[in-house]
Amino acid sequence: MKFTRQPLRLADEIAMFICVLMFLVGLSLLLPSSANGQSPTPIAVGIILTANTECEVGELVRFDATSSDVDDMTWTIVPKTPDFAVVDRRAFFSSRVPGKFLVFIAGAKEGQAFSTLHTLTVKDRPRDREPATLPETEADIPPVDREWRELTDSLERLDA
């Protein structure tokens, strides 16, 4: 019998998120709430996410959770895509197709579980945009670029 790997359906991926969240909540219930039986002092922690809610196909979107006060974080995007990269407490995404994407972040701090779900809507790029063009004359080059070009030209002359 030959087994083939089947892609996860959206429902399977959402079920996986719920399992991760339940694990973190269960972990927090197993840890003692305080040494003397009193309720713990509330702490101001959680996941704080800064990100766009809309973008266009091909646009780079940055998800920033650097202000979050949790020990560990887990990032997931649904539907899965190779265009999503996590770097420490930031994630980067650029979609090749329009649609809706869910970004799920889970974390824990001092026995408490935190999570957030962010929806990103990717819109198709308008077709009426003009393509990028190179400057036609020297005057069309921005001043900083023109100064850099003059410097590199003078260095080339010195090398000759």
Segment 104-115 shows an average pLDDT of 88
4-45: pLDDT as tens digits: 555 556 666 776 667 666 665 555 544 444 444 433 434 445
| Long-range contacts at 24-33 (CB < 8 A, ≥ 24 apart) | 24/106, 24/107, 24/108, 24/113, 24/115, 25/113, 27/108, 27/111, 27/113, 28/108, 28/111, 28/112, 28/113, 31/111, 32/111, 33/111
Query: Of all residues in the chain, what percent carry a pLDDT higher than 70?
Result: 66
Check residue 119 and give its pLDDT: 94
How far apart CA 101 and CA 81 sit, in angstroms, is: 10
Segment 134-145 shows an average pLDDT of 70
CATH architecture under which domain 10-126 falls: Sandwich (2.60)
Query: Of all residues in the chain, what percent carry a pLDDT higher than 90?
Result: 32
Q: Which stretch of 15-24, 48-57, 77-86, 148-157 has the lowest confidence by average pLDDT?
A: 15-24
Say yes or no to pLDDT of 51 above 60.
Answer: yes
Buried b / exposed e along 28-46 (16+ C-beta atoms within 10 A) = beeeeeeeeeeeeeeeebb
Beta bridge partners of 50: 64
Q: Which stretch of 34-48, 52-66, 116-130 has the lowest confidence by average pLDDT?
A: 34-48
Say yes or no to pLDDT of 99 above 60.
Answer: yes
Q: Give me the DSSP letters along 31-89.
A: S-S-SSSSPPPP-------B--SEEETT--EEEE-TT---SEEEEEEES--TTEEEETT
Check residue 121 and give its pLDDT: 94
Q: Which residue has the higher pLDDT, 158 or 39?
A: 158
Segment 97-110 shows an average pLDDT of 91
Check residue 45 and give its pLDDT: 58
Check residue 127 and give its pLDDT: 76
Q: How far is CA 26 from the centre of its chain?
A: 26
How far apart CA 152 and CA 26 sit, in angstroms, is: 62
Check residue 43 and give its pLDDT: 42
